[in-house]
Structure 1
Amino acid sequence: MSGGHAKGKVLDIKVADIKAASPTFHHQAIKLSEALTTLITALDGYGEPWGDDKPGKQFGNKYKPNQKHIERAAGILVLGLTSIHEAMQDMADGHVDNDELIAGMFTKVKHPGSGHGDRHGKGGHR
């Protein structure tokens, strides 16, 4: 997602990259859903608009038996795109939370009365 590879790094994902890419899946899910709705309503509304000439009959013979499978598959793709969008949002949010948690683990804690952040909680030397 970010350019270049640092030596030894396999995956370098930036939260900003995830958040920037996520809406694309949402928008494409909406577009595909609209296209599917248009396909279903238009063809159902027109009956069999492909005609009864040879190419029309060939199309109808292939399309009609598979129509419900095509519609179902497109519906699954819409759900898949929506799921990817939601997962990327969750991953970005979780990545930020995880970074904050890890940063907190490595922050020195000042112990009461010590005035220092040493690991023994005593004001003096080790």
Structure 2
Amino acid sequence: MGFGELQVDPGDIRKAAGELGKVIDKLDQDLTTLESDLAGFGEPWGGDDIGMLIGMCYQGIHDLAMECFAGNLDELEAIAEDLEKMADNYQGSEELSDIEVNRVREILG
């Protein structure tokens, strides 16, 4: 590859999308496990005034963290889908270029 050239392998892009999909699935499983583990602890801070304050703080932080984790997974899923589309676009462009080059070759004889 010389200066200014760009070489793209749609297969490599698809492979990256697939690997990212595996990571997303693992993160989703881990998040489900985390939720289950946290729920298993119950409310260990107790029911007195200080315990209730701790519980309120914990719940707010927990909810925000879970929203962030879920949002991050959604973004990663969108990136994986975009990688698939990118691979399709590169492959389609390459195929179209081949057709056009062959057409010019036929015209020029």
Considering the TM-score relative to the shorter chain, is it more than 0.5? yes
Range of TM-score over shorter length: 0.7 to 0.9
- Name structure 2 gaps, 5 residues minimum: none
**After superposition, where does 1:38-117 map in structure 2 within 5 Å?**
38-48=33-43, 63-108=58-103, 117=106
Q: Which has the higher helix share?
A: 2
- TM-score, normalised by the number of residues in structure 2: 0.73
Q: Which 4+ stretches in 1 moved above 3 angstroms? A: 59-64
Q: Compared with structure 1, are the counterparts of its residues 104 and 70 closer, same or farther at alpha carbon in structure 2 (3 Å cutoff)?
A: same
- 1:17/1:118 Cα in 2 relative to 1: closer, same or farther (>3 Å)? closer
Q: What number of residue pairs does the alignment pair up?
A: 102
Residues 64-116 of structure 1: CA deviation (Å, up to 9, x unaligned):
33111100111011111211111111111121111111222222369xxxxxx
Greater Rg by CA: 1
- Taking every aligned residue pair, what percent have the same amino acid on both sides? 26
Check whether the contact 1:22–1:88 (CA below 8 A) recurs between aligned residues.
Answer: yes
Residues 10, 91 of structure 2: 8 Å contact kept? yes
CA contact (8 A) 1:26 1:85 kept: yes
TM-score, structure 1 as length reference: 0.65
Residues 15-51 of structure 1: CA deviation (Å, up to 9, x unaligned): 12212211121011111111111111221232135x6
Greater relative contact order (CA < 8 Å, ≥ 6 in sequence)? 2
Q: 1:30 aligns with which of 19, 25, 31?
A: 25
Alpha-carbon RMSD across the aligned residues, in angstroms, is: 2.8
Between the aligned partners of 1:91 and 1:62, the Cα distance in structure 2 is 43
SS of 2:8's equivalent in the other structure is: coil
Structure 1 residue 8 and structure 2 residue 4: aligned? yes
The SS at the match of 2:102 is coil
